[in-house]
Amino acid sequence: MATIKIGVVGAGLIGLSTAVCISESIPKCSVAVIADRFTPDTTSDVAAGMLIPHAYPGIPISRQKQWFRETFNYLLAISNSSEAADAGIRLISGWQIFRSLPTEETPFWADIVLGFHKMTQAELTKFPQHVFGQGFTTLKCDSLFYLPWLMKRLKGNGGQVHIKRIENLWELCDTYDIVVNCSGIGSRELMSDLTVFPIRGQVLKVQAPWISHFIRDGNGLTYIYPGMHDVTLGGTRQKDDWRLHPDPENSKDILARCCVLEPSLCRVWGIKERVGLRPGRPELRLQREILSQDGQQLPVVHNYGHSGGGFSVHWGTAIEAAQLVRDCIAELNGPSSKAKL
Ligand SMILES: Cc1cc2nc3c(=O)[nH]c(=O)nc-3n(C[C@H](O)[C@H](O)[C@H](O)COP(=O)(O)OP(=O)(O)OC[C@H]3O[C@@H](n4cnc5c(N)ncnc54)[C@H](O)[C@@H]3O)c2cc1C
């Protein structure tokens, strides 16, 4: 059987993790990542990288839970290995707090994170404006380490990397047998998928080395996430807003909101503003499609639209995308195939 050539479009978190997963789980294939932007210039580089799932509408909770479980367990194993520092992955404890009782006191992911509990009154005294809270230990991926680490892993597996903007997936059909589309917000143009929309996120990366616990307001708008070399303060969630430059009013507001949750943050220094466009979509797209043109066929696996929760599910969606690639290979090798293999 000839080597199967797989081209992955996108070098953010989803493209790199999917490419690594394919290169490690599918024998006799070559993998190349093609993208116009690489770390540190992708949306994924702006994210805090916390594993706290975001519920995806239209997708059964059991499937989302599996994606989260697979991602959590995979990263937990890395955090317990000698690779943890290079990969930028570590365990982190903290609180998610609510000003009124949430509809769901125990979220679907409560039995996957470690030590999930409803906060005691003693714990809540730190947050006098909040009436309810959840304490737990989860994982954080520091993207400025994790993305280069994934890239190194991919190259170590023989994967190739090409800097190129793709205007149309058919450009890739002479070079690759299967194309995997992980172009995030870029899918709006590349696939003419007008259901994809930006959810603008502005954050501050600050120096505050005394902060060791995460704090997240239950509405997900205000958060304090300590990382390896800085603390991420957030945030904004501005739908259909394409602005990539920082808005000084947003920055002032973020710092003020975070100081209400953690007053010691009034002493932060080294403030850097960052903006990213989360790839919003009514439903995350993880599916196979056969493109046809002039009697030619191109098998495509889509993996995009992770919105505000890509880090929390990326390895689970990469595993499922790799399975879809295996299904494409089985079809290409099948007896009725008119394919080129
Ligand atoms: C402020 C902020 C905070 C966040 N915090 C968290 C968090 O704590 N936890 C969490 O789980 N998630 C978080 N997220 C969400 C997470 O960052 C995203 O879900 C994830 O990064 C999406 O990854 P992606 O690879 O799909 O997109 P991207 O990182 O945008 O990568 C897309 C890639 O596709 C390439 N591309 C696009 N179009 C083309 C084209 N036509 N030709 C060639 N290449 C193309 C781009 O160059 C890029 O390489 C946050 C997001 C933001 C903005």
Atom 44, ligand 1: residue with shortest CA distance:
35
Atom 33, ligand 1: residue with shortest CA distance:
10
Q: Is 61 helix (H, G, I), strand (E, B) or coil?
A: helix
Rounded to whole angstroms, the Cα distance separating 253 from 251 reads 5
pLDDT higher than threshold 70 for residue 341: no
pLDDT (0 to 100) of residue 2: 77
Please check if 193 is assigned to a binding site.
no
Q: How close is the Cα of 46 to the center of ligand 1, in Å?
A: 8
CB distance 190 to ligand 1 below 6 Å: yes
For 132-166, give the DSSP string: EEEEEEEEEE-HHHHHHHHHHHHHHTT-EEEE---
Tokens 């070399």, located at residue: 229
CB distance 218 to ligand 1 below 6 Å: no
pLDDT higher than threshold 80 for residue 335: no
HEC string of 169-229 equals HHHHCCCCCEEEECCHHHHHHHCCCCCCEEEEEEEEEEECCCCCCEEEECCCCCEEEECCC
Query: Per the structure block, which two tokens stand in for 37?
Result: 């932007």
Please check if 142 is assigned to a binding site.
no
pLDDT (0 to 100) of residue 333: 83
The confidence band for 336, taking pLDDT boundaries of 50, 70 and 90, is low
* Average pLDDT score, the chain: 95
- Reported as type and span, the H/E element at residue 324 is helix 310-332
Q: What is the mean pLDDT of residues 196-222?
A: 96
Query: Per the structure block, which two tokens stand in for 88?
Result: 């930028």
Q: What is the mean pLDDT of residues 275-299?
A: 95
Rounded to whole angstroms, the Cα distance separating 189 from 10 reads 13
- Reported as type and span, the H/E element at residue 73 is helix 61-79
pLDDT (0 to 100) of residue 337: 57
CB-CB contact of 51 with 69 (8 Å): no
Of ligand 1's atoms, which has the minimum distance to the CA of residue 274?
1
Q: What is the mean pLDDT of residues 292-315?
A: 96
pLDDT higher than threshold 70 for residue 188: yes
Q: What is the mean pLDDT of residues 189-202?
A: 97
Rounded to whole angstroms, the Cα distance separating 135 from 253 reads 26
pLDDT higher than threshold 60 for residue 340: no
CB-CB contact of 196 with 208 (8 Å): no
CA dihedral 305, 69, 258, 271 (to 10 degrees): -70
Q: What is the mean pLDDT of residues 219-228?
A: 94
Percent of the chain with pLDDT over 90: 93
CB distance 53 to ligand 1 below 6 Å: no
pLDDT (0 to 100) of residue 13: 98
The confidence band for 138, taking pLDDT boundaries of 50, 70 and 90, is very high
List the single range of 93-97, 101-105, 259-263 with lowest mean pLDDT.
101-105
Domains of the chain: residue spans and CATH: 4-333 (3.40.50.720)
Q: How close is the Cα of 1 to the center of ligand 1, in Å?
A: 35
Please check if 223 is assigned to a binding site.
yes
Please check if 278 is assigned to a binding site.
yes
- Of 135, 147, 166, whose CA–CA distance to 86 is shortest? 147
For 249-316, give the DSSP string: HHHHHHHHHHHHH-GGGGG-EEEEEEEEEEEE-SS-EEEEEEEEETTEEEEEEEEE--GGGHHHHHHH
* The model scores a pTM over 0.85: yes
Cis amide bond preceding 235, omega within 30: yes
pLDDT (0 to 100) of residue 220: 86
CB distance 201 to ligand 1 below 6 Å: yes
CB-CB contact of 70 with 316 (8 Å): yes
pLDDT (0 to 100) of residue 219: 84
Q: How close is the Cα of 308 to the center of ligand 1, in Å?
A: 9
Cis amide bond preceding 40, omega within 30: yes
Q: How close is the Cα of 13 to the center of ligand 1, in Å?
A: 6
Of ligand 1's atoms, which has the minimum distance to the CA of residue 199?
53
Q: What is the mean pLDDT of residues 108-119?
A: 98
pLDDT in tens, 62-97: 999 999 999 999 999 999 999 999 999 999 999 999
Q: How close is the Cα of 130 to the center of ligand 1, in Å?
A: 32
pLDDT higher than threshold 60 for residue 338: no
Atom 41, ligand 1: residue with shortest CA distance:
166
pLDDT in tens, 20-46: 999 999 998 999 999 999 999 999 999
Atom 27, ligand 1: residue with shortest CA distance:
184
Q: Is 28 helix (H, G, I), strand (E, B) or coil?
A: coil
CB distance 146 to ligand 1 below 6 Å: no
